[in-house]
Chains A and B, each alone.
Chain A
Amino acid sequence: GESVGLHLPTLSVQEGDNSIINCAYSNSASDYFIWYKQESGKGPQFIIDIRSNMDKRQGQRVTVLLNKTVKHLSLQIAATQPGDSAVYFCAEILDNYGQNFVFGPGTRLSVLP
């Protein structure tokens, strides 16, 4: 289940189950979104992206869903594996000029054996 830690919310799932990580973004004008995975001591790793003209995009074992009405983004991981344990961040681009990526607070995914 979900719990809020000192800084990062944590999602614990059983190995083999599906994981759903949620993100609320801030700006309705954002038109590009990315999910990143960050393992301990490493830089963020690109997982999957989606543009605002789409509401779903699938990759290998991952699916991103975008709900522009409520400014919500989710990352679904199928058949979660121990190697999926990491912190997951969503990022949005705020504007079309001098774009910079704004990151959400992150969710720690913990995969239980």
Chain B
Amino acid sequence: NAGVMQNPRHLVRRRGQEARLRCSPMKGHSHVYWYRQLPEEGLKFMVYLQKENIIDESGMPKERFSAEFPKEGPSILRIQQVVRGDSAAYFCASSPRQGSEAFFGQGTRLTVV
């Protein structure tokens, strides 16, 4: 049973480009969480999704950021028109149900140049 898979592991984008980060949850997990982490800091919640539904996006910036978790395929975190301040590690976690343990992927490190 593979763990949470995130790709790419490293992503470099120029300012103004789009970044697409993918997360495949563990088998049997229908809950996905996205977090952002700056160096030497904690994890900041961004969005919580279940299959085809956004449950809580209170941590998402209002502009340029969007997330989806389609019926088939991975969850996608999309950042449009990236700026240098978007550079960070983005982690995805999955859980089988509400109120249960969440397991993290290895993250995608986004660098905006």
For residue B65, CB closer than 8 A to chain A, the reply is no
SS class, residues of chain A in contact with chain B: loop
Contact call B41/A99, Cβ cutoff below 8 A? no
Known: A32-B99, A99-B48, A100-B33. A43 touches B105 (CB 8 A): yes
On whether A102 and B45 interact (CB within 8 A), knowing A42-B106, A43-B106, A44-B104, the answer reads: yes
CB neighbours (8 Å) of A15 from chain B are none
Q: Mark interface residues in B38-50 (1 if CB within 8 Å of A CB, else 0).
A: 0011111100100
A72-B66 Cα distance, complex, nearest whole Å: 34
Contacts A98-B48, A100-B56, A101-B33 given; does A46 touch B101 at CB 8 Å:
yes
Q: Is A45 an interface residue (CB 8 A)?
A: yes
Cβ-closest chain A residue relative to B107: A43
A89 is an interface residue with CB less than 8 A from chain B: yes
B1 lies within 8 A of chain A by Cβ: no
Contacting A at CB under 8 A, from B15-74, are 33, 35, 40-45, 48, 55-56, 58-59
Q: A32-B99, A44-B91 are in contact. Are A101 and B41 (CB under 8 A)?
A: no
User: What is the size category of the interface that chain A forms with chain B?
Assistant: 20 to 34
Is residue B93 within 8 Å, beta carbon to beta carbon, of the partner chain?
Answer: yes
Residues on A with C-beta less than 8 A from B48 are: 98-100
Cα of A8 to Cα of B43 in the assembled complex, Å: 12
Give the CA-CA distance A5 to B98 in the complex, in Å.
35
Please list 11 pairs of residues, one from A and one from B, whose beta carbons are closer than 8 Å in the complex, sorted by A's number: A32-B99, A34-B102, A36-B104, A43-B104, A43-B105, A89-B42, A99-B98, A100-B45, A100-B56, A105-B41, A106-B41
Given A32-B99, A43-B6, output 6 extra A-B contacts at Cβ < 8 Å. Answer: A8-B41, A43-B107, A46-B102, A93-B99, A96-B98, A103-B42
- B interface with A by C-beta (< 8 Å): 4, 6, 33, 35, 40-45, 48, 55-56, 58-59, 91, 93, 98-99, 101-107
